[in-house]
A and B are shown apart, each in its own frame.
Chain A
Amino acid sequence: MLTILFDGVAYGMLLFVLACGLVVTLGLMNFVNLAHGAFAMAGGYVTVVLMTRYGVPFLACLPIAFVATALIGAVLERTLYMRMYDRSHLDQVLFTIGLVFIAVAIVHFLMGSQTQVIRLPSYLLGRFEVFGVGIGVYRLFLIVVCGALALVLQWILASTRFGSQLRAAVDDARVARGLGIRVSRIFALTFAVGSGLAGLGGALGAEIVGLDPTFPLKFMLYFLVVVTVGGTSSMTGPLLAALLLGITDVMGKYLFPAFGAFIIYTVMIAVLMIRPSGLFARVGTR
């Protein structure tokens, strides 16, 4: 039982890393980016290609996946995304769905539709027992890495100048601009980092959740759940939401395999009904 809990926590941490870029995008620019999952997919495929064709070790692939995806994100943001900031949500949805279709089609064409296999290094395989709880090495690795990332992110947000500028811009972009904060620069940087993190998450998660061209569509809802349930006004809300989601999903699949994802969806709908602005959102002026 505790093993399942542990697995759920690992899954939740992974979801957090994957989704945190979306949290800031949505909270900062009120931009609905349904293509976020495509960045994660990109990171995963970059890792696969590097490992299988060029023999790059797994751990080295992780930062490469991050940087590569961040670069793609930065380029796309400056060329395409930034024209869409003032458009309606429907336009943004259509635009990003279009991007997902393109990405999925390209990946399908280049890499085929089968699930990609990542051969983890041997020191990340296996399980061991601690007080009778089965701990998977890779899942432990995930928790450590993602946890560290979460802490770093929180530190950046809370204790650096960039972080406070970002928080100000999220709170009220107009006022922030009036204070001299370069909001568009902050956003470009945050978007790139968020996409990079998604790519990193994709690389990390390929082993656990599987990597194939349907990844962005499959996980789109999960990311959206983390963002809407967790709210966009802090990092802790989405973190808790991701953990909740991860644990519920893993436990649900284990305890009630017949119902699978059914529970997640119903819970999500229920939460959105009761608190349309998210479970942990601060009630603010927006």
Chain B
Amino acid sequence: MTPAGFLLGKSRWTLPELIFWAVAIGAYFAFPRRHLLLNEIAVLGLFALSLDLILGYAGIVSLGHAAFFGAGAYTAGLFAKHVMGEPVTGLIVSAGVSAILGFAASFMVLRGTDLTRLMVTLGVALVLYELANHLDWITGGADGMLGVVMKPILGLFAFNFRGSTAYLYSLTVLFLAFLLARRVVHSPFGLSLRAVKENQLRASSVGIAPARRIVAIYTLAAAYAGTAGALLTQTTQFVSLEVLDFTRSADALLVLVIGGAGYLYGGLIGAIVFKLLKDALSIASPAYWLFWMGIFLVILVLVGRDRLMGWPRAAAERIAAYLPGRKR
């Protein structure tokens, strides 16, 4: 295998990937009464994907990623309420606002240890939460923002109560975002991020200036998170303080723990498992869900994340190797 062949082969679309997206679209037809749930999964998947970009690829541990999710969510709500109700425009504006916020916040995670970053990211999310809480004449505070009415997408596709348009809308946005992320990750820039994550000392010794790369990926991740938040607002026509809550940041982290970080599909697969599990376990009581999540985390970390987390990729490779037509 030539060097070029080896490297290019890593970014080629594999069959398991195509199957995944086929299933995602197929779900629309297979579960006509669960479009609302599917929509939530898509939104959560995009949010987890955005966290994967900074956690799985740049190695930044953030406990406050919901800050950008919430920023996007509120921007979308305010935009729809006071400017115009067309969703795609609102989405772009929300992504932009979150990107700016992410850019500003990125300078805070450049310095310091893991613990400092943890606290700074947590702090930023808490500050935004308090801000949204106290500016309740704009945001609606704890009760939430009412009066968010969405017009048809691009003037053509109207939202319905079953969430059908919502799911297709979110899925499309997710897919486009995914494509871009995939491209970035398999580029020289993406490789340099992984290098910074694996050995920052060595990375700077080959001429990589970590600061600029981290600012760039953090901004992109923030834009993605904001897009996810905006999608949630637009598809549920509601936004409240929940979008900035610590549990939302923790949820994204859990999703990545379940699905595995560092290969882009972790957030998506994890979102599916997470949402379905939560639905099933929360029936008893919220404490029940919390308990099992806790047990899962403890066992997972004790056993070793790598051994468990490699499973989606290992399984996919195993499957792909048996499929016909695959070159060895």
A contact residues vs B (CB 8 Å cutoff): 26, 32, 80, 83-84, 87-91, 93-95, 97-106, 108-109, 213, 217, 221, 224-225, 228, 258-262, 265-266, 268-269, 272-273, 276-277
Contact = CB atoms under 8 A, between A and B. Distances in A.
A267 to B, nearest CB: 9
24 contacts: A32-B115, A80-B298, A80-B302, A83-B302, A89-B114, A89-B118, A94-B297, A94-B301, A98-B301, A101-B297, A104-B287, A106-B291, A108-B290, A221-B119, A221-B122, A224-B118, A224-B119, A261-B126, A261-B130, A265-B126, A265-B130, A269-B120, A272-B123, A277-B116
Given A259-B130, A265-B127, A87 B290 contact: no
A259 to B, nearest CB: 7
B61 A109 contact: no
Interface in B281-321: 285-288, 290-291, 293-298, 300-302, 305
Given A268-B119, A272-B119, A260 B294 contact: no
B10 interface: no
B146 interface: no
Given A32-B115, A94-B253, A276-B112, A260 B291 contact: no
Nearest to A107: B287
Contacts of B115: 26, 32, 89, 224, 228
Q: Interface size for chain B: under 10, 10 to 19, 20 to 34, or 35 or more residues?
A: 35 or more
B246 A217 contact: yes
Interface of B: 55, 61, 63, 108, 111-116, 118-120, 122-124, 126-127, 130-131, 134, 246, 250, 253, 257, 285-288, 290-291, 293-298, 300-302, 305
Given A101-B297, A269-B124, A276 B118 contact: no
B132 to A, nearest CB: 11
A273 B294 contact: no
A90 B134 CA distance: 32
B248 to A, nearest CB: 13
A273 B111 contact: yes
B217 to A, nearest CB: 17
A164 to B, nearest CB: 26
Given A108-B286, A268-B123, 14 more contacts: A32-B115, A83-B302, A99-B294, A101-B290, A101-B297, A109-B291, A221-B123, A225-B119, A262-B127, A269-B123, A269-B124, A269-B127, A272-B116, A276-B112
Contacts of A80: 298, 302
Contacts of A265: 123, 126-127, 130
B67 to A, nearest CB: 11
